[in-house]
Amino acid sequence: MQNHEITTAKKAIGILSIIVILCCVVLFQKKNAYDNNVKELEDLKSKQIEVIKNNQKVKAMQEAQYKELGNAEIKEQSRKFFNLFYNWNSWEKYTKNMKEIQKEFPQIVKSSPVDISGTMVGTGNSPISSYTADYYTTNQKGKMVELITQTRNTPTTATTTIWRGVTSIGENQLFYLEDLDSYVRAE
């Protein structure tokens, strides 16, 4: 009987030893996987930091190019014009903005490719108009092309108009709106 108990104890110790060894192997593998994940995460973070630094360099170079090409002033004047032309939430605000354009940009009044009279208002509630713009340089100094997406929302409808604008800085550093074409897409 004693032999039988010793044999059973040896078997139990053997099984426990195997279990402990397997647990150690699994734990070792998990630790290696954790270490690999930590290293990979650190590598990704360092790559992200490099990308951010590189993006800052590119942005600085782009701004320098804008200044060199004379596009910084065009972009600023375009934003000012487009904020007045596209951002309004009532017919009164629209009319006021058009009068402000006429005052701020008298050179555009003479040769505007769009109506900035302020009389093209509707009846009832006006839509709420807003916009986003992407600016593109051209191969001509002092000239830019803008791709503008205007959104007009009412309680019942939403309309998106895509505009392509060409702007420039001309004589006496005056801002000119050379072209502004619209392409309407009803949603």
Average pLDDT per consecutive 10 residues, the chain (187 residues; last block may be shorter) = 79 91 93 93 94 94 78 86 91 90 81 75 83 87 89 89 86 78 68
Residue extents of the structural domains in the chain: 70-186
DSSP secondary structure of 89-148: SSHHHHHHHHHHHHHH-HHHHHH-SS--SS----SSSPPEEEEEEEEEE-SSTTEEEEEE
Q: How far is Cα 75 from Cα 146, in angstroms, rounded to an integer?
A: 9
Q: What is the pLDDT of residue 27?
A: 93
pLDDT at 120: 76
Within 10 Å of residue 23's Cβ, how many Cβ atoms? 10
Q: What is the pLDDT of residue 122?
A: 74
What pLDDT score does 148 carry?
A: 93
> What's the pLDDT at 9?
85
Which pLDDT does position 1 carry in this prediction? 57
Give CATH for domain 70-186: 3.10.450
In this prediction the pTM is 0.63
Residue type for position 186: A
Q: Which amino acid is at 65?
A: Q
